[in-house]
Amino acid sequence: MAEETQTFQITGMDCADCARAIERGVARMDGVQSCSLNYTAAKLQVQGDAAREAIVARVRELGYDVGGGAAPAAAVETPPATGGPFGFIRFLLARRNTALALAGALLILPGLLFDELRLWPGAPAWLVISTSLAALAAAGYPVARSAWRALRVNREVSINALMTVAAIGAVLIGATTEAGLVMVLFAVGEALEGYTMEHSRDAIRSLMQVAPREATMLQPCLDCREHLGKDGYTGGPCPFCAPEEHRVNVDTLRPGDAIVVKPGERIAMDGRVTVGVSSVNQAPVTGESTPVAKQAGDTVYAGSINGEGVLEVTVLSLAADNTVSRIIRMVEEAQEKRAPAQRFVDQFARYYTPAVVVIAALVAVVPPLVLGAPFLNPAPGEQGWLYRALELLVVACPCALVISTPVSIVSAISNAARRGVLIKGGAYLEALGRVKAIAFDKTGTLTEGRPNVVRLRAVDCLSCERPDDACTNCGDLLALATAIERRSEHPLARAVVDTAERNGVSDKYPAADGVKALAGRGVSGSVNGHAVSIGSHAWFDSTVPHDETYCKEIDGTSAQGQTPLLVSVDRQYRGYITVADTVRETSRDAVAALKEAGVQTLVMLTGDNAAAARNIGGQVGVTDVQANLLPAQKVDAVRDLLKQYGTVAMVGDGINDAPALATASVGIAMGAGGTAQAMETADVVLMADDLARLPFAIRLSRAALAAIKTNIALSIGVKLVFLAIVLLGLGTLWMAVLADVGVSLVVTLNGMRLLGYQDRT
């Protein structure tokens, strides 16, 4: 069998230690080159030539199962985790192992009430002992079985083994109720951890629900009986009937198919508008807060919501390859790319658990042998060193530490994805939170990336300030220029025509006749019998007389990075139009928000001339501008920033700036206008084609770093405190496990807070 990568959806996991046990067990198989299990997505990926049936058998041998199909794990694991205590009970009843934990919780009540809390001191001993042992058996059976399988298959001592040894030891020294309590609390705690993680998986599930599963397909009328024989029609698509509407599953659609999207309907597929005009709410995909106008030729994304108009859309990709599907895949893949903090915790836990067993054995044996201290409990209320060693096993369980990092990372990445920011892994999330400086490409990042008319000035102008508020004379100048430029394919011509259309003067003059492009100089033609020319200042200096005052004014616009287009009629100078790439409306606010967030070094890197670069940089508010840079020089500039600041982000289009993006600590791409390519290129993708979400991504990443540090500190700190309590003989077994379960729950909930993190700006 050829080597390949196989993907499995794992069910039955309640904690990150379950994932590690499966990962190690499968990795030990013959034919497996490598494997990784993403606990948060419950997805196992195996590379090698091992048979699929053998891998499934190994997973089941370890006590877990494999779900069917290729849907994300959220779709195959358990029903959505509904809130409240009743939601948790439903979660417990959904699987055999967790149902046994619930049964154990009910059976331990007599021991807890009558033995530990002494609510009925005269309760029959047989009742307390029998119910406690039954609780231990019910809750402990899955735990002990898992411990044995990990020992037999993986040759390792797991967290479950620590709890099993502690419970059996407690029974041997007569602490039956405590043994049952330990196992019940641990089993319920594991289930609670799985329940809270299921809430985290709901974030991915909500992404899955963004795009509808059905679409209205336009299909031609085939072999139309009504029109057979008419004008030579003999069958096939009927040329006389309008396309028919059919509801189909999106999985059946192929590129080139046509679908219709009605007002208020979610768009089912990525596509290009062929007919219709509407505004589309892209917030579910890109995070943009305002609807975007769409017309023929514009791209629309699956999952966005159509506005007031009917759109006919040509499908561009398969359902499995649309924007939403790619987002889901990348969110799941991002969870597999562990942050440095998570890799450290995983490595630490690998050696930590066996070390705990050795230390616990030393605690049980050394004081009695060396100091003559009691090995067993000498009297009721007094603790021997065996009991303290059992407590140590419980206290030392690394559950909270193991879960502390991944739950924070998956919550942050899922939240970011819902708001139009794709972060491709925990490592990039962590790096983004440490960014000290950000470098920006200019064109298409800080600016619109296309030329726009920024100034009109006719010879008899009435002091116009903006192109969209032109006086009559400037409007006439724009209309004349449009009559020529509508016959030109030059990018600057499109800017002139678009402005004329917005100002309502595009049809004032008929399209010019005899239009000729004069290479490097301009364009000329005839409008209503008059010779009209549009060209550069240098060309006009040698061909069309004009006042020195205009020359100085035009040179001033050039110094600001604008491109002047001079206009003449019958060799008489009539005025000029300047065109330039304009700053995005969101760029100024984004740069200001980044400064407010504490990123004080914001550098613009551009290949444009220094005058134009300084003008744009001043409008946006960056702290430094570096102009006239070739792609290799942009890389050098990023390296210089890395030397100065350590962690640097680079923001660009994801393709042209690929070398600089790859050099930076975090490469951030603008998503729209080539979303698929940008997704594959950068470490972070802003799905909306602006910088508005970048400050949010920075703040979210910092909040995630703070949550991870808090969780790790809390996990270790509580264990150290209880370790001291245990060694002093002041604790109990069930208090130790309650502390461990409690901390696990606290760190999980603290990490899950990131799911609801809001940008305060």
**CB of 100 closer than 8 Å to CB of 110:** no
Give strand pairing partners of 668: 651, 684
Closest to 591 (Cα-Cα) out of 580, 602, 582, 583 = 602
Q: CA 617 to CA 446: how far, in whole Å?
A: 9
CA–centroid distance for 441 within its chain: 22
Is 441 an active-site residue? yes
Contact 324, 210 (CB under 8 A): yes
Candidate list 14, 115, 441, 653, residue with the active-site label: 441
Which strand (E) or helix (H) includes residue 447? strand 447-458
Q: Tell me 222's DSSP state.
A: B
Question: How many whole angstroms separate alpha carbon 720 and alpha carbon 714?
Answer: 10
Backbone angles phi, psi at 59, to 5 degrees: -60, -45
Token code pair at residue 505: 């003067």
Q: Which long-range contacts (CB under 8 A, 24 or more apart) does 63-66 make?
A: 63/12, 63/142, 63/145, 63/146, 63/149, 64/10, 64/11, 64/12, 64/13, 64/18, 64/22, 65/10, 65/11, 65/12, 66/8, 66/9, 66/10, 66/11
Residues 187, 188, 189, 192, CA torsion sign: positive
Q: In sequence order, what DSSP letters do the residues of 600-628 get, joined into one string?
A: -EEEEE-SS-HHHHHHHHHHHT-SEEE-S
Q: Please name the residue that has the structure tokens 């975090």.
A: 666
3-state helix, strand, coil in the chain (%, to 5): 50, 20, 30
| The 214-219 sheet, strands edge to edge | 244-249, 214-219, 258-261, 311-315, 271-275, 299-300
Report the 3 state secondary structure along 236-299.
Answer: CECCCCCCEEEEEEHHHCCCCCEEEECCCCECCCCEEEEECCEEEECHHHHCCCCCEEECCCCE
CB 440 within 8 A of CB 446: yes
Q: Which of 96, 108, 95, 172 is nearest to 137 (CA)?
A: 108
Q: Which of 385, 567, 608 is nearest to 476 (CA)?
A: 567
Return d(Cα 747, Cα 30) in angstroms, integer: 37
Q: Residue 580 pairs with which residues in a beta bridge? A: 452
Cβ-count burial 240-263 (b if 16+ within 10 Å, e if not): eeeeeeeebebeebeeebbbbbee
Q: What's the token pair of residue 248?
A: 């189909």
Within a 10 A sphere around the Cβ of 206, how many other Cβ atoms? 15
User: 144: which 2 tokens?
Assistant: 């002990």
The DSSP call for residue 63 is T
* Active-site annotation, residues: 441
